[in-house]
């Protein structure tokens, strides 16, 4: 089983490396969205510090939603999805490996870049670890939720708009907790509760999302 998981992750990473432009598009989108806000809002430091967590989290949310749209599209087009459905290995195991590889490709770079981009907002240095940790816990949840929507809308015309309608309401709690953790620490209240709730969401998503994604893929393949 471990060998299969490593093989699936290695395959997805290799395919992503061959399509580096897709990765660059997501990262550039994230960087550009965050960088435009200080230019539009103005140089007021207090205002920038206040809006920084929300802006960075919204940009990460939109970047994740942009990246998951094509998570299973290539497999659906070239017949790999049919082989996945017929494989002896449970589809949920393959799906969790695919989701982890996708997060490594599109989610982890956002987590790494966020403290650097936060400098534009004059975010205090003591808040950067909280922001990074909240994104580290929250972006995998965004990936798993988005993968459910991507599987449900697979092969549909206008699937991108339908995907947004499906997953955006489910993204809102993650957004609130992620940005709220930084705001709570900034206010001196401590962000442990927000981070623990994010961790709980990650555990729940990791437990139930693979089953939901596998079911959605079977429905879309019929």
Q: Which residue has the higher pLDDT, 77 or 92?
A: 92
Q: Which residue has the higher pLDDT, 208 or 164?
A: 208
Task: Please state, in angstroms and rounded to a whole number, the distance separating the CA atoms of residues 85 and 101.
Answer: 19
Task: Please state, in angstroms and rounded to a whole number, the distance separating the CA atoms of residues 174 and 201.
Answer: 8
Please determine, for residue 42, whether its predicted confidence score (pLDDT) is greater than 70: yes
Q: Across residues 70-79, what is the average pLDDT? A: 74
pLDDT of residue 88: 67
Q: Give the tens place of pLDDT for each residue, 120-161.
A: 888 888 899 999 999 999 999 999 999 998 888 886 766 677
Task: Please state, in angstroms and rounded to a whole number, the distance separating the CA atoms of residues 217 and 91.
Answer: 9
Mean per-residue pLDDT of the chain: 86
Closest CA relative to residue 211, chosen from 104, 79, 94 = 94
In percent, the amount of the chain with pLDDT more than 90 equals 38
Closest CA relative to residue 27, chosen from 109, 136, 118 = 109
DSSP assignment letter at 158 = T
pLDDT of residue 1: 59
Task: Please state, in angstroms and rounded to a whole number, the distance separating the CA atoms of residues 30 and 8.
Answer: 27
Q: Angle at which helices 20-41 and 2-18 pack, to 10 degrees?
A: 70
Q: What is the CA radius of gyration of the chain?
A: 18
pLDDT of residue 150: 86
Domain residues of the chain, as ranges? 2-221
Reduce the secondary structure of 82-128 to three states and give it as a string: HHHHHCCCCHHHHHHHHHHHHHHHHHHHHHHHHHHHHHHHCCCHHHH
Please determine, for residue 78, whether its predicted confidence score (pLDDT) is greater than 80: no
Task: Please state, in angstroms and rounded to a whole number, the distance separating the CA atoms of residues 120 and 130.
Answer: 17
pLDDT of residue 16: 80
Q: Is the dihedral of CA 94, 108, 140, 38 positive or negative?
A: negative
Question: Tokens in use for 91?
Answer: 């589809």
Q: What is the pTM of this model?
A: 0.90
Task: Please state, in angstroms and rounded to a whole number, the distance separating the CA atoms of residues 12 and 151.
Answer: 17
Q: By three-state DSSP, how is residue 18 classified?
A: helix
Please determine, for residue 79, whether its predicted confidence score (pLDDT) is greater than 80: no
Closest CA relative to residue 16, chosen from 108, 90, 82 = 108
Q: Give the tens place of pLDDT for each residue, 188-208.
A: 888 899 999 999 999 999 989
pLDDT of residue 170: 92
pLDDT tier for residue 28 given thresholds of 50, 70 and 90 = very high
- Alpha-helical segments (H) within the chain: 2-18, 20-41, 45-68, 73-78, 80-86, 91-102, 108-117, 128-152, 159-186, 192-221
């Amino acid at each position: 089983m471990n060998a299969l998981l490593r093989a699936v992750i290695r395959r997805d990473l290799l395919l992503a490396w061959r399509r580096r432009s897709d990765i660059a598009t997501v990262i550039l989108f994230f960087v550009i969205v965050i960088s435009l806000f200080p230019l539009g809002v103005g140089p007021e430091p207090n205002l920038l510090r206040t809006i920084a967590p929300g802006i960075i989290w919204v940009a990460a949310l939109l970047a994740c939603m942009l990246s998951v749209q094509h998570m299973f599209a290539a497999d659906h087009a070239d017949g790999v999805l049919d082989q996945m459905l017929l494989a002896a290995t449970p589809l949920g195991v393959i799906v969790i490996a695919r989701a982890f590889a996708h997060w490594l490709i599109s989610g982890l770079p956002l987590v790494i870049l966020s403290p650097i981009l936060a400098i534009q907002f004059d975010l205090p240095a003591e808040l950067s670890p909280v922001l990074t940790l909240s994104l580290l816990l929250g972006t995998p949840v965004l990936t798993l939720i988005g993968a459910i929507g991507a599987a449900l809308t697979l092969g549909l015309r206008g699937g991108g708009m339908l995907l947004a309608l499906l997953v955006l309401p489910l993204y809102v709690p993650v957004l609130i907790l992620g940005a709220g953790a930084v705001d709570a620490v900034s206010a001196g209240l401590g962000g442990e509760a927000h981070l623990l709730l994010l961790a709980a969401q990650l555990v729940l998503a990791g437990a139930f999302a693979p089953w939901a994604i596998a079911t959605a893929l079977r429905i879309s393949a019929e």
